[in-house]
Chains A and B, each alone.
Chain A
Amino acid sequence: AQRVTQPEKLLSVFKGAPVELKCNYSYSGSPELFWYVQYSRQRLQLLLRHISRESIKGFTADLNKGETSFHLKKPFAQEEDSAMYYCALMDSSYKLIFGSGTRLLVRP
């Protein structure tokens, strides 16, 4: 079955600390994975996708097929990073299968 798991509902860190938001997936094929972010009172938006291998707002995510993981990382968290983060898998019909989300709270 296709599934995305985000084990942490809430992750709280201090400003300047490293951040890692965990994501594991189950998919019987070559996965295409994404991180979406929803800031307070804003709409859901794409943060990054694994296939582009880019860094957005200091965030990176590496696909590890052996561990079926796609963890989101940032070396130094900023207060403006506080938001809801969703990991998502695209299936063969191009729809997104989302994890349950992790709320990141960056404290001053």
Chain B
Amino acid sequence: GAGVSQSPSNKVTEKGKDVELRCDPISGHTALYWYRQSLGQGLEFLIYFQGNSAPDKSGLPSDRFSAERTGGSVSTLTIQRTQQEDSAVYLCASSPRTSGSYNEQFFGPGTRLTVL
């Protein structure tokens, strides 16, 4: 079956521009996670959705970062006024998690963002 998909796969933008990154989770997965993979920082958590609500936004690095999820499915991560330090691979993961138990997180291929 189809796994987690992300678009675009690569994005090059100029400093100061806004970008939107999209994640399509596995159908039926209620939990969705965004992580960032950057040189020297490893993999960092950004935000987590359960359904359409985000109970944990603690990893968003600044108020330039926001995310939403609609219909309990697709999620968009928006970065406003991009800075060079935003350059990274942005990973999305989904899981069928039901409360009180852990389910495996399945990762997408990532979006490589380069801010010039």
Contact = CB atoms under 8 A, between A and B. Distances in A.
Interface stretch (B13-21, B80-88, B97-105): B97-105
Q: Majority SS of interface residues in chain B?
A: strand
Interface of B: 3, 31, 33, 35, 41-45, 48, 55-56, 59, 91, 95, 97, 102, 104-105, 107-110
Interface residues on A, range: 10 to 19
B97 A94 contact: yes
Nearest to A45: B107
Interface of A: 32, 43-46, 86, 88, 90, 93-101
A32 B91 CA distance: 21
Contact of B42 (A45, A94, A100): A100
- The 9 residue pairs across chains A and B that have the minimum distance between CB atoms: A98-B43, A100-B42, A44-B107, A93-B56, A95-B45, A43-B107, A43-B109, A95-B48, A46-B104
A100 B92 CA distance: 18
Nearest to B40: A100
Contacts of B43: 44, 86, 88, 96, 98, 101
A44 B45 contact: no
A94 B107 contact: no
A51 to B, nearest CB: 8
Contacts of A101: 42-43
